[in-house]
Amino acid sequence: MRNLIIFITLIFITSAFPQENQRLLWFDATANFQRLSFKDSICFYIDKAKQVGFTDLVVDVKPITGEVLFQSKIAPQMIEWNNFRRDSSFDFLQFFIDECHKRNLRIHASLNIFAAGHNFFNRGVVYDSSPGWQSVNYTDSGLVPITKLKHKYSAMLNPALDEVQDYELNILKELASKYPKLDGIILDRVRYDCIEADFSEGSKRMFELYIGENIEHFPQAIYEWRKDDKGNFFRFEGKHYQQWLEWRASIIYNFIKNARQAVKEINPNLSFGNYAGAWYPLYYEVGVNWASRNYEASKDYGWASAGYKNFGYAEMLDLFTTGNYFYEVTKEEVEKLNEEQFNRDEAAMGGGKEYWYSVEGSAEISASVVMEAVPIIGGIYAEQYKDHPEQFRRAIKMCLSKTKGVMIFDIVHIINYDWWNLIEFSE
């Protein structure tokens, strides 16, 4: 009887969350704050999404400030943005859920996990209540709190801190409990800020426990800044560099594991999803191994230790959407680039002409490291194709052909460019 119940449950989950041909449209919190403060406006855009063939909507309920867009007993609620004030009693997420289900659309809530401040506005949790949680970055100018690095718009947290993890897990549990009819949760920014993060004393102590050794010269034992013949700074890897990368990956792995368990205990049918950038060969710089646990990165990359594979978390996901965030759609287009045309500024991206710096190539390398542990939904960033609608259309088609669906970020760009006609999906 127990096996029959499990079988029926699996059928239900599979029918609720098809593993192929999912088409996701993302609604950023701040970019759409005023627009999504009115019921008629929400209904209008849900209808537009349904009309062109989207199957799932992703609604951002925790932007990078660390505030949330629902009434919370844990996190501050965002009720004002860009001089517009929303009625704090309006439960826009519940309204989204109800209206999506009326139209047979699935709805996921997305949360920026390890981000808690907007550096351009000096706003957010790390500015208001928890400055000790912020990342301390080891830059070529020394150790600098991230709120002082104003070229970075997102004030990232130190993911290794127990109090940070507990805080974020409690928000996830609150969300899952508060909205039992929500179809899924998609985590975003479950990562470190960059390769320069985090070099606080707390991270040093935890890393020493991990390797079972006291480090006399820190952070130089991880890497040190040197200058080349032209006076440009570069990072010189230290004795514990590989172990450091492995340890950071273990921090993110364990959070993903705990987050899944936390929300599944509340609602076993809640889809547990994650977004990450598709440029896997460089994603170690933000402390993330989103590959299958069966993929041995050390065989392909010199930065990976033998133990790095133990912290691949793909198997723990129900939904995985990658950011295939490149203007170049095909591998052939990348080969034709010259250095002046490299313009990549996502976390851990760099210059280069490797094949995976394209929508096609990044989809292929994602599939090779995930090893079918979870279906991949390729994502595209609409803003990258401004003034190039046909390239946008080609990127959509590439994701649909190379992955199990497509995610488009963000609806604000579709609205601004009036590109609804470009994303008519054929069944």
- 98: CATH: 3.20.20.80
Q: For residue 286, is it within any domain?
A: yes
| Cβ-proximal residues to 417 (8 Å cutoff; 6+ apart), any chain | 382, 386, 389
| Residue 322 binned pLDDT confidence (cut-offs 50, 70, 90) | very high
SS3 state at 214 = coil
pLDDT at res. 341: 57
Query: What's the domain range around 146?
Result: 2-193+246-423
Tell me the pLDDT of the chain averaged across its residues.
93
Residues 72-94 have a mean pLDDT of 97
- Report if residue 210 sits inside a domain: no
- What pLDDT sits at residue 347? 62
**59: helix, strand or coil:** strand
Q: Is residue 307 domain-resident?
A: yes
Number of domains making up the chain: 1
Residue 162 is encoded by which pair of tokens? 């127990």
pLDDT at position 122 is 98
Residue 333 lies in a domain: yes
Of 60, 43, 23, whose CA–CA distance to 102 is shortest? 43
Sign of CA dihedral 300, 304, 310, 313: negative
Sole residue written with tokens 């946008």: 392
pLDDT, average across residues 364-388: 97
Whether the pLDDT of residue 406 is over 90: the answer is yes
- Amino acid present at 404: K
| Region 265-293 average pLDDT | 98
Please give the structure tokens belonging to residue 208.
Answer: 């020493």
For residue 187, being part of any structural domain is answered with yes
In this structure, the number of other CB atoms found within 10 A of the CB of residue 89 comes to: 7
pLDDT above 80: residue 82: yes
pLDDT of 200: 98
Give 344's pLDDT tier (boundaries 50, 70, 90): low
- Could you tell me if residue 382 is inside a domain? yes
pLDDT in tens, 166-182: 999 999 999 999 999 99
pLDDT reported for residue 348: 57
Specify the higher pLDDT residue, 215 or 337.
Answer: 215
Q: Flag whether pLDDT at 13 surpasses 60.
A: no
The rounded percent of the chain whose pLDDT value lies above 70 is: 92
Q: What is the pLDDT of residues 378-394, one digit of tens each?
A: 999 999 999 999 999 99
- Beta carbons of 319 and 184 less than 8 angstroms apart: yes
Whether 188 is covered by a domain: the verdict is yes
222/203 Cα distance (integer angstroms): 12
Strand partners, 274: 187, 320
Give, as one character, the DSSP assignment of residue 388: -
Q: Which helix (H) or strand (E) holds 188?
A: strand 184-188
Split at pLDDT 50, 70, 90, the class of 342 is low
Q: What angle do CA 286, 111, 72 make, to 5 degrees?
A: 135
Over residues 227-278, the pLDDT tens digits come to: 999 999 999 999 999 999 999 999 999 999 999 999 999 999 999 999 999 9
Task: Please report which confidence band the pLDDT of residue 353 belongs to, taking 50, 70 and 90 as the band edges.
Answer: confident
Kindly state the percentage of the chain with pLDDT values over 90: 90
Q: Give me the pLDDT at residue 14, please.
A: 38
- Domain-located, residue 288: yes
- The pTM of this model reads 0.93
Q: Is the pLDDT of residue 149 over 80?
A: yes
How many beta carbons lie within 10 A of that of residue 100, not counting itself?
23
How many whole angstroms separate alpha carbon 192 and alpha carbon 276?
12
Question: Strand (E) positions, 196-353?
Answer: 223-227, 233-237, 271-277, 319-323
Nearest Cα residue to 25 out of 100, 95, 98, 84: 100
